[in-house]
Chains A and B, each alone.
Chain A
Amino acid sequence: MSIFKRIFNIGKAETNAALNKLEDPIKMTEQGIRDLKSDLDKALQSLAEIKALAIRARNDHNSYSQKAKDYEKKAILLLQRAEKGELESTEADRLAQEALSKKKDNEGMAQQAATDKSKFDENISTMESKIKRLRQQISQYENELKTLKARVKVSTATKNINKQMAQIDSSSTVSMLERMKDKVAEEEALAESYGEIANESRSLDEEIDRALEDESPASDDLAALKAKLNQSKSE
């Protein structure tokens, strides 16, 4: 493989990869469905054309059959007039012959229209079954797209939640709590140490004062209670 071909292949692969990244599968599917609907619409227009031809063929068959009947009636009328002597026999025969000839022509055209009509009906039937399949296909794709969209929504939401959860774990929130705990413990230890140091450095005067402080209202209460006990003993 020549070096240029290899470089070209690398370029092609990279471009494809880049375009693949650009492609949104949902949007691509939606466009695909739109294209299918457009195809379906064209097929419907073709079906309409054939149905219109079938309607015309039925109309032709009807009008040619009617004309054929009219010519037959005219031929009968001509012969009846000849019988009644209202028309010369040879002239009546000639005209009746013409009328019957016209009748035959119209019958032929009516027959042709009937043949055309049945051909068109066959075409309609074939096209309708194809169109039915195309309709089903589009409906199926549309339903699949709906499901796909719902799945994408769910997965995006799940992904976002998981991402947030992951970010919470990895972020400093947990470690911050740990650090807070450590800091509080540190502060508590520090306070305790200060307390101990404070107790150790008390002076004599402070001890005296502290002993005197004990004569608090609580000491009075104690004295009162003792007096009460002594009184009950003497009784």
Chain B
Amino acid sequence: MTPLLISNMSFFKNIFGKKEEPKPFSRTPLDLDLGYIFEYDLRSWEVQAVYEYDWGDEDFSKEFKVSDGIDTYFLAVEEDDEVELVWSQKIPLAKIEGDIAEEIIQKERPPETIIYESKTYYLDEECPGYFHEKGEPEDQWTEFIAWEYYDESEHYNLSIEQWGERSFEASLGRVLAPHEISDILPRKL
């Protein structure tokens, strides 16, 4: 190809080729989306579902259901002053000491402390909100309430959620530093 043609191509590309600049070096967990792949704990994880949470007062967060082909976890991502990440897995409510579900139904709130696998977790906050799964109709938001507990170190989190009158879920999580999620790869599904 002659220099003239190359110059012309670049010239026109400059004028008409303006589009969003790719950011292969600067992807963060906030950029994750359906189908994306990332590395954590020396394993590759694929985002299989994206959940959106509306906590009111313009406060939103996201959670990603991820799998490495064997295990399934959830990665919660929230941007406050800085990015907060929690890596969690569902646990049976029955494994938490005491009848949490019954206590919530009776007293309309859970206990201040709970014990799971001999570790004590302390109630941090009560979060009523709305849940929506990406891909579902936009007006399909489900109301629920979550109670967030942390251990003394505040590195481990235990969450109890109430969906409807008698439906409860619990999950155990670990607070991650943003750099622990790496090699975020985009993917178009």
Contacts and interface: CB of A to CB of B under 8 A. Distances in A.
Chain A at the B interface: SS class: helix
Residue from the set A27, A47, A48, A138 with the largest chain B CB neighbour count within 10 Å: A48
Interface in A1-60: 12, 15-16, 19-20, 22-23, 27-28, 31, 34, 37-38, 40-41, 44-45, 47-49, 51-52, 54-59
Contacts of B46: 51-52, 55
B7 A23 contact: yes
A41 B22 contact: yes
B69 A58 contact: yes
Contacts of A28: 10
A135 B25 contact: yes
Given A15-B4, A31-B14, A37-B21, A55 B67 contact: yes
A45 B35 CA distance: 10
A51 B37 contact: yes
B4 A41 contact: no
A62 interface: yes
B44 A54 contact: yes
Interface string B23-37: 111000000000111
B69 A59 contact: yes
A31 B45 CA distance: 33
A23 B7 CA distance: 8
Contacts, number: 79
B166 interface: no
Contact of A62 (B2, B4, B8, B70): B70
Interface residues on B, range: 20 to 34
Contacts of A27: 14
B186 A31 contact: no
B55 interface: no
Nearest to A139: B25
B119 interface: no
B176 interface: no
B107 interface: no
B44 A51 contact: yes
B69 A41 contact: no
B185 interface: yes
Interface string B1-22: 0111001101101100000011
A19 B7 contact: yes
B186 A48 contact: yes
Contacts of B2: 12
Nearest to B19: A38
28 contacts: A15-B4, A16-B3, A16-B4, A19-B11, A20-B7, A22-B11, A23-B7, A28-B10, A37-B21, A40-B24, A41-B23, A41-B24, A45-B185, A45-B186, A47-B37, A48-B36, A48-B185, A48-B186, A48-B187, A51-B185, A55-B37, A55-B45, A55-B67, A55-B68, A55-B69, A62-B69, A135-B24, A138-B25
Given A34-B21, A37-B24, 5 more contacts: A31-B10, A31-B14, A45-B188, A47-B185, A62-B70
